[in-house]
Structure 1
């Protein structure tokens, strides 16, 4: 007895009423007959496969026919007859389900591997990846990050600089110190130190050579050694490109993709990370490198690198915990670091030039006072 069905030839959207007949000759074939008994299609049994269908319906497709060609059968009795006549359909369905499960498992493992590489792999090799970044591109990325930071600090009013005159005694002294610190380092960036009004005692460097020092930290510095120590430390982050390393760790492979695609401004990956740089904590290795750089600067200029530890420790003991959080959290003063800073301050040459004259330090110390 023939099985009633609906036949879609894949060429037009309308369906035709049809009947199905199975012929066992030559490997078997499913024959589709029209209302007049004319043969509409003949699909070899070996080419048949199941197509996803709602409950109470079975849909058949075949390899080598037009896309969209379907045979639709409704009714549990008719569906049972088809499955009994063509047991390979069920076997192929199970095989396809197993293939999809394996594919999903492999996709999940691949995704997990990508996530693991992003979270663990990229930060581990960030210092090496930074060497692939041209300094000119880092400078462009730094400008993007800096614009975000300055917008978050100053808003529409602009960056609240303590002293906007670059030719003032304080600014000229700070610029001279920064240039002297970077002398003989082959650093590709021109240092740009900006002292900003803020109640948060913090200092940080961004990619490309710009350093921000908040007025609350300057007010907390009691000696030129403490100020010179924190400034030399931040310039050490500039020389070793730790800001770019932090950005690579944060943005991951997207930063390198941006480089490959020619995004030389870094807007596609730097957007939204400016504010996070303020509270970013460098690795212990990066902090050690910056401390050692400050110690090397202290070999040429007369200040004690361990004075930085005094400043960090004093800020950490501030009665206002929220103010203390910034510098102490981003520059943690571990016992190991305190010991290293103390050792770095020993055996310094005599007869060194001080980093600032008395007049310069007096101008620096009051530059943020209204």
Structure 2
């Protein structure tokens, strides 16, 4: 009796047996599985057969009436085609299986494409729309929580050292006055608070709710009042446009998309990352452009040179270590386009209305030259409005 040489897995043991297959006449009935001595090893009903993906030139069959791991394998292109000709139903099912597989791949590709589009287009749009619905008090509370975590991460648990904790000092009063002038008329619900922190990290950044920091290592590299004013105005732009909260919302939305793909929609994987998101996340290039434009508008209103920001960024960009640390350069390098935009409003003449008087600027430059200030690890995390928080930060209410 003519048959087909094959390999047989019973799906129960790991044994692989050489067998001979004898298909039924007319393709109906059951396929006989004969051992090497022609003894019947098993019979698989044709209607239960299905194909299993395998390498080219091999036909692998399974049966819905047998254990999930049971398999029959026939090798050789000619032999496979001859068996399929005798069992045409298997060929039809094999074609249908391939179509289903291609359909699944197509759906998966379409789903992945949709997620990518949602990430690139939908997440930023969603974040911006949601931010407008968040109460200012809630954002301030969130910002205080994030501030504690950032402080602990950047200071290795020691707490930030405020260079000048006296809100009535000349330097702090000048900074508060400048922040008040920059924020005036913008409609922001926040009263910006700026702290100059003793740190070897050359950075400046803003948090949700109005808190901003200027690190002493960056202050040391700041050579003019216009440069200092440009950076502060840029960071206050992030506050006014609520970029910090927008970044957190985007991080959460991205987490939801990843959770959808991985099947984790409990939110546990997202909640744990919010506190540290602003440590690792840099603002998008569009957010940086908005902050640049805000700084330019502030320079026009207050009369200081907008190119001061470009001068500082240009100088720092020559130092790879410092440019990597500075958030203003990490995702938005000082390209010719960006520098041209920053210099666009610069008349090239002298500053008409200095952001800070020479005495004020000298006081600001020397803020961190005095004896080391107290750590702020206790007060910085307290709710806005507490006495200890107001002592270490620089509220606008102290401006003259």
**Which shows bigger deviation, 274-283 or 212-221?**
274-283
Q: Does 1:312 align with 2:299?
A: no
Task: Supply the distance in 2 between the matched residues of 1:320 and 1:53 (Cα, whole angstroms).
Answer: 55
Equivalent residue, structure 2, for 1:289: 294
For the Cα contact (< 8 Å) 1:287–1:331, is it kept in 2? Answer: no
Equivalent residue, structure 2, for 1:196: 197
Change (3 A) 1:278 1:29: closer
Change (3 A) 1:286 1:316: closer
**CA RMSD between the two structures:** 5.3
Shift of 1:241: 0.8
Higher relative contact order (CA 8 A, sep 6+): 2
Shift of 1:228: 4.6
Secondary structure of the 1:213 match is: strand
Shift of 1:243: 2.8
Please give the TM-score of this superposition, normalised by the length of structure 1. Answer: 0.65
Question: In the TM superposition, what are the counterparts of 1:1-370 in structure 2 within 5 Å?
Answer: 1=1, 28-30=28-30, 43=45, 45-52=46-53, 60-62=61-63, 65=65, 68=68, 70=70, 72=72, 82-119=83-120, 122-123=123-124, 126-131=127-132, 133=134, 135=136, 138-139=139-140, 142-143=143-144, 145-147=146-148, 149-151=150-152, 153-166=154-167, 168-175=169-176, 177-178=178-179, 181-182=182-183, 185-198=186-199, 202-219=203-220, 220=222, 222-223=224-225, 227-228=228-229, 230-247=231-248, 253-254=254-255, 267-269=272-274, 271=276, 273-277=278-282, 282-292=287-297, 294=298, 298=301, 303-304=302-303, 306-309=304-307, 311-316=308-313, 318=315, 321-322=318-319, 325=323, 326=326, 329=329, 332=334, 334-340=339-345, 363-370=363-370
Change (3 A) 1:131 1:262: farther
- Residue-by-residue CA offset, 1:267-286 (whole Å, 9 max, x unaligned): 42553651453997844234
For the Cα contact (< 8 Å) 1:242–1:286, is it kept in 2? Answer: no
Secondary structure of the 2:282 match is: helix
For the Cα contact (< 8 Å) 1:20–1:31, is it kept in 2? Answer: yes
State the number of aligned residues: 349
For the Cα contact (< 8 Å) 1:203–1:212, is it kept in 2? Answer: yes
For the Cα contact (< 8 Å) 2:31–2:43, is it kept in 1? Answer: yes
For the Cα contact (< 8 Å) 1:140–1:266, is it kept in 2? Answer: no
Shift of 1:195: 0.6
Change (3 A) 1:123 1:78: closer
Task: Supply the distance in 1 between the matched residues of 2:57 and 2:269 (Cα, whole angstroms).
Answer: 58
Task: Supply the distance in 1 between the matched residues of 2:366 and 2:351 (Cα, whole angstroms).
Answer: 30
Change (3 A) 1:177 1:40: same
Shift of 1:196: 2.0
Task: Supply the distance in 2 between the matched residues of 1:265 and 1:116 (Cα, whole angstroms).
Answer: 21
Task: Supply the distance in 2 between the matched residues of 1:164 and 1:244 (Cα, whole angstroms).
Answer: 27
Shift of 1:86: 0.8
Change (3 A) 1:126 1:157: same
For the Cα contact (< 8 Å) 2:140–2:209, is it kept in 1? Answer: yes
Change (3 A) 1:103 1:24: same
- Residue-by-residue CA offset, 1:81-101 (whole Å, 9 max, x unaligned): 744421332343244234323
Task: Supply the distance in 2 between the matched residues of 1:80 and 1:206 (Cα, whole angstroms).
Answer: 68
Gaps of 5+ in 2: 260-264, 371-400
Task: Supply the distance in 1 between the matched residues of 2:293 and 2:159 (Cα, whole angstroms).
Answer: 34
For the Cα contact (< 8 Å) 2:230–2:309, is it kept in 1? Answer: no
Task: Supply the distance in 1 between the matched residues of 2:283 and 2:154 (Cα, whole angstroms).
Answer: 10
Change (3 A) 1:134 1:72: farther
Task: Supply the distance in 2 between the matched residues of 1:327 and 1:53 (Cα, whole angstroms).
Answer: 51
- Residue-by-residue CA offset, 1:111-154 (whole Å, 9 max, x unaligned): 24423442455446653353355556644654565455434543
Change (3 A) 1:178 1:276: same
- Residue-by-residue CA offset, 1:251-308 (whole Å, 9 max, x unaligned): 76327889x966799542553651453997844234213433x258x4xxxx42x334
Task: Supply the distance in 2 between the matched residues of 1:262 and 1:319 (Cα, whole angstroms).
Answer: 40
Change (3 A) 1:78 1:183: closer
